[in-house]
Chains A and B, each alone.
Chain A
Amino acid sequence: TQLLEQSPQFLSIQEGENLTVYCNSSSVFSSLQWYRQEPGEGPVLLVTVVTGGEVKKLKRLTFQFGDARKDSSLHITAAQPGDTGLYLCAGAGTGGSYIPTFGRGTSLIVHP
């Protein structure tokens, strides 16, 4: 059973479009991270959210943590080819464990 469900699994869009990816769980997390992974490389930490309802912005990326700390979303405005990659969410703090559980990711391709 996957603790964190990410949707959509795949996304192929044109440059300039907006998109939102989702990360959902039935568990409450103390914190949640978003990572981006490019082919052949390790995931790179983008952001950590810890407070229910929290919104963080990183240039064209907007991250939101759900009020109940069970879900999160990542919105990208005016996507660029450089945004292409696998976006992973990871939740920590369930049952007292700080070891993060990862979703399977959303694979994004942005066509020029």
Chain B
Amino acid sequence: KAGVTQTPRYLIKTRGQQVTLSCSPISGHRSVSWYQQTPGQGLQFLFEYFSETQRNKGNFPGRFSGRQFSNSRSEMNVSTLELGDSALYLCASSPRTNLAGEQYFGPGTRLTVT
């Protein structure tokens, strides 16, 4: 099976702009989660989507939003970018029943805000 893919891999934006990141999960995986990774805070959970519905949400401001499409592909959007939003954004997919919490990650999108 093909792994999780994310596009774009690298992005440079200016403060105040908005950005949309895309994620295609492993075929058959219906749960998609997004994480922000920074050297200072580590991996932090943003939100999880399942069957086009946001099922869980982390402690991030409303500028961070996401959605999931009927084919399980997901996008996340960050509006009014701030310098502190510079990070590696990781998408992870999971099988339908995932009580063990296992995550299969994509390569990430490196966002730099200047």
The residues of A with any CB-CB pair to B shorter than 8 Å are 2, 30-31, 33, 35, 40-45, 48, 50, 88, 90-93, 97-105
The residues of B with any CB-CB pair to A shorter than 8 Å are 4, 33, 35, 42-45, 48, 56, 90, 92, 98-108, 110
With A and B bound together, what is the CA distance between A62 and B1 in angstroms? Answer: 27
- Could you tell me if B100 and A92 are in contact, using CB atoms closer than 8 angstroms? yes
Contacts of A92 in B (CB 8 A): 99-101
Closest to B6 in A: A42
- Could you tell me if B4 and A98 are in contact, using CB atoms closer than 8 angstroms? no
Contacts of B105 in A (CB 8 A): 35, 42-44
With A and B bound together, what is the CA distance between A105 and B37 in angstroms? Answer: 11
Contacts of A104 in B (CB 8 A): 42
Closest to A47 in B: B102
